Amino acid sequence: MVAPSANSSSSLWGMKIQVPHRKYRSSPQLSFGRGGAGRGKFVVVALAPARNDGAVARSSSAAAAIASSSSTTTTALQTAMSRAKTATSSSSFLPPPVTTWTTANKSNIIDGHVDGDNLKLDFRSDFASEPAGGGVLVENGLVYRERVLVKSFEIGPDWKLTMGSLMKYFQDTALSHTACMGIVAEGFGWTPYMRSNNLCWVVTATHVVVNRYPSWGEVFQLDNWLYASGKNGLGNDWLIRDGKTGQVLVRATNCCVMMNKNTRRLSRFVQEVRDEFAPHFLTVSDSVAPRDKRKIQRVTIESADNVRTGLSPGWNDLDINYHVSNVKYIDWIIEGAPRWILESRELCGMTLEYKKECRIDDGGIQSLSKMVGKLEGDGVELEHSLCMEDGSEIMRARTSWRIKSNVRAPAPARCRTV
């Protein structure tokens, strides 16, 4: 079952509810994969949540329909259906669950100001012992929390999590959060009303402050919550804390607005969608990472200290809205920074303003950067512009860089004997 939404029975609040891991939430509960028996052949593995007769029935129906079209897979499908029917009695066959913690008093308000080290969200010692992966809903079901293990392919030359990897985690946890709400029909947080009216979410602004990057092998705790941002925006806040001590490592916020997928024009935050999200909004006095209110000036080729040309979007840079993912913009911004800064300093803060979507045929991207100030401890501040060949601006950014630390945490052993 899914996490309780605004329409859920009130008796659900105060219970510990098990829901399938997000990896297995699709319906029907059936997947295909290469099996060891018979090299090169496909076997069918049915995945059924515990005590969910509806999911088992859907799995059986789907498997039966596929079996009728191909006699060669009949045996494998019959085996899969048999396993699906008996899955409730075999805990080893079930996908890892996502636990939802709620309290008897469902409130949309957390007392106190939400800001960095003074954050009032509880750092649960019982959750700190949980393995990385999956997630929970805390604070009366309004905050999504996940424990994350830093992988080797997510780090840079300094053994630390990269800014691009951070942004991917922000996106993924926000989507997992909306999926847990039970109001998403498909896509990147598209509700039933949004899907029927060809609306999607696009990011307009992002602000990130990094106290310390998690290193390879570390486990960190990532919290995400939603709130209304102005008249037409949906605010997303994230807080990353050390998985052992609870120390605040990273604070981030962004603002999303709706876009019509057919006209590619921005849309107002229609009341129907606001009503779908409102029961899940967290009421806070300010963002966890308040934006820098200074205006970001446009950088031109004439005023730039560093120019990187020849950048172009590839097919793998697109997201499901068929435009370049906002994470790719960060890669282009960093490519436009001077090499001496990349080698001697680390990115510790950034403010991004997205001006225009970039699509697959928009080639010839230019990344321009200019140093605009010095920070404490030999830090520097840059302003950036991403522009197309025709001069139209895609994004502006301001980045802060501090002296790199050579201290790194070694990757701990993560194996155990069973």
- Catalytic center residues: 321, 323, 358
CA distances from 321 to 177, 196, 359, 366, 412 (A): 19, 15, 10, 23, 38
Phi-psi region of 351 (alpha: psi -120 to 50; beta: other; left: phi over 0): beta
Write down the residue that tokens 């494998």 correspond to. 76
**Rg (the chain; Cα; Å):** 23
Inter-residue contact 200 to 192 (CB < 8 Å): no
Inter-residue contact 152 to 165 (CB < 8 Å): no
d(CA 16, CA 296): 47
* Structure token pair of residue 239: 């807080």
* Structure token pair of residue 15: 């219970």
Contacts of 367 (CB under 8 A, 6+ apart): 307, 308, 309, 311, 332, 333, 335, 336, 384, 385, 386
d(CA 262, CA 86): 46
* Structure token pair of residue 171: 């996106």
- Closest-CA residue to 220 (of 150, 163, 292): 150
